[in-house]
């Protein structure tokens, strides 16, 4: 696996600290956390704030994976939808999980303020409908959020209002959420890592875990040393399949892609999205976009279930962008990047224990910006002996991807054809 940061606008727009040292020699800790993305850094920070001696091992650089290159929309809820949660957990606990994500949104704001993380945090997000069927789905969702969840931060927007905010005629309606937000994801994860180190976490970069010894003491080995700890947390998502294959069967990495135009200038960029909200359509193969702090348009919308970067990804993503904003035909793409996110079969998060002292977080399924933060909090609670909230997540059942490790990806590609065709239906 490549552990170099992606050539993204996010990477180009930050000044990283000097590389942290790789693990060298044998180290003891109260907890070892594997993975330097948002899930791992959040877990480490919450544990350190509770007084634990924490070591964090990252194979590459902090935030090199999905946490540092995502679409960075901060949304409540789960990729699987509440129906999956309710079918497995019952109505009350499904509602609890929804409320946890509202807590996660507030946690982001609290972390940004408390640790003075300059991550371009901006509020407001809209899901938008292209077809009448989708407009009806958004209206039903709006009523469900208000009636069943008491969530009153959303409102429906008709075509006229939406066209007053977006310089496009592609969408017929929208569901605006004033509580949702967006940010610069790499700045955010780097800021959390700095806060974790200030709280006492020892962070080692370039320290890929090569083996995992289980027992009363967990031993995690790298090329340069080892960490011994009474408890450990595996938070590397698709990266941990190398040393925890039992987890690999429950997730699959799919490739996602984003482009950034050259700077458009403040006036032109503001005219595209007048209220600076983030936007996502509700196709299965969806488009999402937002403005950057230096007046670019960031636009994502390509996925690859085959795991292969298709030829012409940059060109294809730009073509999707021009379907929304044809007036950007003269604006070249300056950055294009992609990478893997981990999904589960049912798109629900996969949190649990391999042993009583060996925990894991994975399967964020594209909803990690908020969910990773609250996952770190409830995991830290569980390690401190307060596992009630973590165990609600651990009750979720997950199936292996069909076809085994060799055939599951082509099986998924075939299954996704139906959803791609559904996007074409009126």
**pLDDT above 60: residue 327:** yes
Render pLDDT for 38-55 as a digit per residue (tens, 0 to 9).
Answer: 999 999 999 999 999 999
Structural domain tally of the chain? Answer: 2
How many Cα atoms occupy the beta-carbon half-sphere of 50 within 13 Å?
A: 21
pLDDT attached to residue 169: 96
Domain membership flag for residue 334: yes
Domain membership flag for residue 94: yes
- Same structural domain for residues 370 and 354? yes
Confidence of residue 3 (pLDDT cuts 50, 70, 90): very low
Domain membership flag for residue 197: yes
**pLDDT above 80: residue 308:** no
- Same structural domain for residues 224 and 245? yes
- Same structural domain for residues 174 and 297? yes
pLDDT attached to residue 314: 85
240 DSSP 8-state letter:
G
**Out of 112-116, 204-208, 336-340, least confident range:** 336-340
- Same structural domain for residues 220 and 113? yes
- Same structural domain for residues 51 and 116? yes
Render pLDDT for 264-282 as a digit per residue (tens, 0 to 9).
Answer: 999 999 999 999 999 999 9
Cα distance between residue 168 and residue 172, in whole Å: 10
- Same structural domain for residues 92 and 25? yes
**pLDDT above 90: residue 339:** no
Domain membership flag for residue 302: yes
Domain membership flag for residue 401: no
pLDDT attached to residue 418: 40
- Same structural domain for residues 43 and 151? no
Cα distance between residue 314 and residue 323, in whole Å: 14
Cα distance between residue 107 and residue 76, in whole Å: 12
- Same structural domain for residues 147 and 283? yes
Domain membership flag for residue 388: yes
The domain spanning residue 287 has which CATH number?
3.30.9.10
- The CA distances from residue 327 to 153, 167, 316, in Å, are 32, 9, 17
Q: What residue numbers bound the domain in which 356 lies?
A: 1-120+183-250+345-395
The domain spanning residue 71 has which CATH number?
3.50.50.60
Tell me the sheet residues that pair with 34: 57, 234
**For the whole model, what pTM was predicted?**
0.92
3 DSSP 8-state letter:
-
Cα distance between residue 404 and residue 31, in whole Å: 33
Tell me the sheet residues that pair with 281: 128
- For all residues of the chain together, what is the average pLDDT? 90
Domain membership flag for residue 15: yes
**pLDDT above 70: residue 99:** yes
Render pLDDT for 185-217 as a digit per residue (tens, 0 to 9).
Answer: 999 999 999 999 999 999 999 999 999 999 999
- Same structural domain for residues 13 and 147? no
- Same structural domain for residues 22 and 93? yes
**pLDDT above 80: residue 4:** no
Domain membership flag for residue 402: no
Token pair for 197: 């180190």
CB 352 within 8 A of CB 360: yes
- Same structural domain for residues 21 and 90? yes
292 DSSP 8-state letter:
-
Render pLDDT for 380-407 as a digit per residue (tens, 0 to 9).
Answer: 999 999 999 999 999 999 988 765 444 4
CA angle 412, 418, 423 (to 5 degrees): 120
Cα distance between residue 205 and residue 37, in whole Å: 12
Give me Rg for the CA atoms of the chain: 21
- Same structural domain for residues 61 and 16? yes
Confidence of residue 290 (pLDDT cuts 50, 70, 90): very high
Cα distance between residue 197 and residue 55, in whole Å: 10
**Type and span of the H or E element at 243:** none
Three-state DSSP state, 92: helix
């Amino acid at each position: 696996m490549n552990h170099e940061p992606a050539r993204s606008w996010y990477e180009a727009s930050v000044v990283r600290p000097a590389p942290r040292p790789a693990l060298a020699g044998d180290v003891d800790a109260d907890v070892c956390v594997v993975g330097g993305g948002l899930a791992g850094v959040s877990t480490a920070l919450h544990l350190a704030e509770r007084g634990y001696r924490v070591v964090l091992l990252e194979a590459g650089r902090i935030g090199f994976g999905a946490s540092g290159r995502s679409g960075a929309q901060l949304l409540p809820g789960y990729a699987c939808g509440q129906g999956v949660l309710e079918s497995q957990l019952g109505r009350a606990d499904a509602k609890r999980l929804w409320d946890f994500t509202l807590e996660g949104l507030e946690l982001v704001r609290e972390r940004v303020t408390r640790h003075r993380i300059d991550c371009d945090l901006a509020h407001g997000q809209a899901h938008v409908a292209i077809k009448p069927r989708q407009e009806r789905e958004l209206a039903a969702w709006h009523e469900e959020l208000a009636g069943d969840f008491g969530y009153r931060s959303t409102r429906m927007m008709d075509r006229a209002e939406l066209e007053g905010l977006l310089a496009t005629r592609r969408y017929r309606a929208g569901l605006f959420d004033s509580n949702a937000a967006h940010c610069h994801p790499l700045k955010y994860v780097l800021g959390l890592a700095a806060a974790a180190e200030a709280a006492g976490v020892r962070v080692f970069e370039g320290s890929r875990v090569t083996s995992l010894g289980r027992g009363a003491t967990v031993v995690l080995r790298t090329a340069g040393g080892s960490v011994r700890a009474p408890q450990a947390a595996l938070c590397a998502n698709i990266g941990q399949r190398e040393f925890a294959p039992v987890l690999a069967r429950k997730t699959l990495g799919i490739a996602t892609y984003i482009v950034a135009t050259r700077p458009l200038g403040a006036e032109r960029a503001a005219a595209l999205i007048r209220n600076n909200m983030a936007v996502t359509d509700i196709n299965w193969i969806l488009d999402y976009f937002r403005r950057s702090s230096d007046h670019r348009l960031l636009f994502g919308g390509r996925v690859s279930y085959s795991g292969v970067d298709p030829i012409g990804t940059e060109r294809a993503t730009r073509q999707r962008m021009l379907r929304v904003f044809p007036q950007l035909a003269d604006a070249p793409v300056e950055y294009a990047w992609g990478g893997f996110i981990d999904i589960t079969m049912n798109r629900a998060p996969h949190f649990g224990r391999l042993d009583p002292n060996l925990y894991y977080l994975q399967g964020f399924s594209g909803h990690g910006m908020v969910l990773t933060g609250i996952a770190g909090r409830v995991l830290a609670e569980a390690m401190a002996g307060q596992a009630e909230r973590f165990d609600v997540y651990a009750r979720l059942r997950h199936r292996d991807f069909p076809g085994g490790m060799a055939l599951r990806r082509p099986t998924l590609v075939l299954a996704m054809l139906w959803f791609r065709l559904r996007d074409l239906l009126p």
